[in-house]
Amino acid sequence: MTEQNIYHERQSRQLCCLHALNNLFQAKQTYTKEELDDICTDLSPESWLNPHRSWIGWGNYDVNVLMRALSKRNCEAAWFDKRKDPACINLDVVFGFILNVPSDYKIGFVTLPLHRRHWIAVRKINDNYYNLDSKLSRPECIGNEVELLRFLRSQLNTNEREVFVILTNENVKENWLRDEEVAES
């Protein structure tokens, strides 16, 4: 797969969770907005204003929706403890990463003082890792494992960013932390 063939959805409305999931799985409509909205309803069936998405229905899905959506495709997200060095991650069993980062809300050139969150997928494709952020005009090559670890360290350098390690169900039983890390626990 060449860089031109990497699937990359661009940001639309508040659907970054949807874009991150589709970019992670490298296929259009692996998930749909309707499917994520149904998950929101399943999570809070009695809620008039659903707490798992934007009240105007444009997305802005929370971590509960992400976790349920991944489980529907036989995957699981493990939260990474940012007090640890990403080098402890056994990259051989990792399907990909999803990051949750702060995001500015702008109207034109004016940045509003709203605190928002943004979902980003990172995935190994062929021999390189790619930042598949839907706000980018195209996938950004991070590079090999060394560059990936540098990227993850820079992302975790602030308290406002979270990293989720994405594992397939067949790899969940595998330890995604390297043996040295397990021995220290």
Please state the domain extents for the chain. Answer: 11-184
Q: So which residues are the catalytic ones?
A: 16, 118
181 near 81, Cβ under 8 Å? no
* Sequence-separated (6 or more) residues with CB below 8 Å from residue 26: 6, 7, 123, 125
The confidence score (pLDDT) of residue 12 equals: 76
Q: What is the pLDDT of residues 34-62, one digit of tens each?
A: 999 899 788 887 877 876 777 666 678 88
Q: What is the mean pLDDT of the chain?
A: 85
* pLDDT category of residue 182 using cuts at 50, 70 and 90: very low
Q: What percent of the chain is predicted at pLDDT more than 90?
A: 57
Distances 83 to 79, 88, 101, 114 between C-alpha atoms, Å: 12, 11, 17, 27
Rounded to two decimals, the pTM is 0.85
The confidence score (pLDDT) of residue 169 equals: 85
The confidence score (pLDDT) of residue 99 equals: 96
CATH 3.90.70.40 describes domain 11-184: yes
The confidence score (pLDDT) of residue 44 equals: 80
Provide DSSP, 128-181.
Answer: EEEE--TTSSS-EEEESHHHHHHHHHHHHTSTT-EEEEEEEHHHHSS-SB-HHH
Which of 10-14, 56-60, 77-81, 155-159 shows the lowest mean pLDDT across its residues?
Answer: 56-60
Q: What is the pLDDT of residues 87-110, one digit of tens each?
A: 999 999 999 999 998 776 555 566
Find residue 76's DSSP bridge partners: 167
* Residue 123: other Cβ atoms inside 10 A: 23
- Quick check: 19 pLDDT over 50? yes
Report which listed range, 40-44, 129-133, 166-170, is most confident: 129-133
